[in-house]
Structure 1
Amino acid sequence: MTTQDRRAGDDRRLEAVLLAGGPQPVARYVLDVPSQKWWWSDELFEMHGFAPGEVVPTTALMLAHKHPDDLARVEDVLADVTSTGAPFSCTHRIIDARGRTRVLGVVGQGDVDGVTGQVTRVVGYFMDLTEAQEALVQEQATRAINASAERRATIEQAKGALMVVYGLDDDEAFEILRHHSSITNEPVRDLAARLLDSFVGGPAGTFPSREDLDHFFETPRQARQGRSAR
């Protein structure tokens, strides 16, 4: 996957968070293209860590605050809109004057002179997506933790069955699962899930018999050997 593909994916996920969440801080800007002079609303000064009017906004200042990994992409977007005027949207990171990393979304388009065909100014909005991004990261982390817990619970249940039926300790039970997962060429969690599924529906609170487990573990080995013999 290329960096561009990853960024496109990040933008789509951020868009989903924005559509589902509340309003985001919004700021306005105007860039006079011939002079390269910017006008910022008070909110845009604040997004960059400045008090309103504390600095004179310039293209150089804007670019100086872009995250190094996002700078080239932002430069390309700026070059395109100032030469064509085409509408654009872009999500990128900045490092504000206080050293904090923020995630900003920016949209805009250029005004084109009808006589010369030159872009005279670019107007649009910045949105501070930092909180939305943090919520997205937290959501992804929670999802990963829950999935990991589910995998562990499945393996623990399967190990418990082996420990009771075969009289094994924890490490020995896991080694059986690991060994047979290598034979069937599947993750331990998937093997454990199949094992649990194989005796679902029996009397409540009962474990499979030794013969049930022997059959479960021997059947895939026999099928594999049969295919090899052919």
Structure 2
Amino acid sequence: MTKAGAPHRVGGFLYHRAGDRWEWSDTVARMHGYQPGTVTPTTELLLAHKHPDDRAHVAHTLHTIRTSGGAFSSRHRIIDTKGVTRSVVVVGDRLLGDTAETIGSSGFYIDVTDTLETSITEAVDEVVADITASRGAIEQAKGMLMLIYRIPADRAFDVLVWHSQQTNVKLRDIADQLLARVAGKLDVPVTLRTRFDHLLLHGN
């Protein structure tokens, strides 16, 4: 059965590849019918709460989260401990470790049981697009730092994070600003560009 008038709520989650561990916020626990702190979420428990018609789709999404990571979104139904069916949207992205390796996923649940389908789709598409755009700018900025300073990817990411913390500016904005400044103010010498052309075309 579906409970009419269920309030719209938002709660977060974390997934750690090490130990195949999940963490739920208090809100997400309540969405599934549990009092906060009374259950340890597992992949098996997550799947057990999915509506039978949505379980295969969610299992595929969970496999992706647990292996390759990346930005994702899923609209499906869950059945709580009292048998109440709720429609939820789950949005997330990869969780990075200290050396910029993917160590899991993080994101949030939205209880959209009484929300219009068009509004849900538009909101989710916007969030996922923003995640993808953020990653593209950050990866480009990392590449610039790696080339200029001859440092590995994890150190380049550390530089961006440090600058973000020092200036209290979001990481994506730091990357966007760097890309804009380089494009507008940094001229590549002809000799360097010629050498790059040769490497690109001939490889030595």
TM-score by length of 2: 0.50
Report the structure, 1 or 2, having the larger helix content.
1
Choose 1 or 2 for highest CA Rg: 1
TM-score, scaled relative to structure 1: 0.45
